[in-house]
C-alpha cells in the first residue's frame, strides 16, 4: 500500500494554534521594546542636535539656536544656523507617541559665540504616552554640557 506523505488537517490546525499562542505572547513585548526605542531615539536626536549646536557655535564663533517647533518641544525642534555657510538648518520631529518637555521655560536654546547658553541651562524630559515606559531626563548646563538625570 502506498502512503501519501504530508500533513493531516489536524496536524496543520495544531501547528496554527501553537503559532497563534506564541504570537499572542510575543507581540506585547515587542511593542514595549519598540516604545522604549522610540523614547531613546528621540532623546538621542535632541541631545545630538544640542551637541551639534554647541560645537558649531564654538567653532564658527557665532550664535546658534535650537528652537522648539511652533507648537512647542512636543511638536519637534529646529537647528538654526546664523548663515548658510555654517551648515544647513534642520528640523526634527519626535517619534510617534513620544513627548518632549522643557522643565523651566519653553523657549529656544541659544548657544552664544563666546560660549555658554543664553539665559542659563535647561532640563528636558522625554517620555512616552504609555506610562509603563520609562522617561529619560537630561540636563544641559550653562556651558552646554549634557548630563543624564535630574538637574538638582
- Domains of the chain with CATH codes: 9-148 (3.55.40.10)
Q: Extract the C-alpha cell encoding 71.
A: 507648537
The arithmetic mean of pLDDT across residues 10-37, rounded, is: 87
pTM: 0.78
Q: pLDDT tens digits, residue range 28-82?
A: 778 888 889 999 999 999 999 999 888 888 888 888 889 998 888 888 899 887 6
CA atoms within 13 A on the CB side of 12: 4
- Distance, CA of 65 to chain centre: 19
The residue behind cell 489536524 is 10
- Contact between 79 and 88 (Cβ < 8 Å): no
Amino acid at each position: 500500500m502506498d502512503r501519501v506523505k504530508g500533513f493531516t488537517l489536524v496536524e496543520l490546525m495544531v501547528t496554527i494554534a501553537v503559532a497563534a499562542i506564541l504570537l499572542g505572547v510575543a507581540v506585547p513585548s515587542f511593542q514595549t521594546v519598540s516604545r522604549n526605542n522610540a523614547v531613546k531615539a528621540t532623546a538621542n536626536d535632541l541631545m545630538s542636535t544640542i551637541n551639534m549646536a554647541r560645537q558649531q557655535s564654538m567653532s564658527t564663533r557665532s550664535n546658534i539656536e535650537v528652537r522648539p517647533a511652533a507648537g512647542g518641544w512636543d511638536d519637534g525642534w529646529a537647528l538654526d544656523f546664523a548663515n548658510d555657510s555654517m551648515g544647513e538648518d534642520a528640523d526634527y520631529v519626535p517619534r510617534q507617541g513620544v513627548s518632549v518637555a522643557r522643565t523651566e521655560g519653553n523657549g529656544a536654546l541659544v548657544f552664544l559665540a563666546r560660549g555658554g547658553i543664553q539665559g542659563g541651562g535647561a532640563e528636558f524630559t522625554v517620555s512616552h504616552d504609555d506610562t509603563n515606559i520609562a522617561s529619560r531626563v537630561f540636563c544641559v548646563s550653562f556651558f552646554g554640557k549634557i548630563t543624564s538625570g535630574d538637574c538638582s
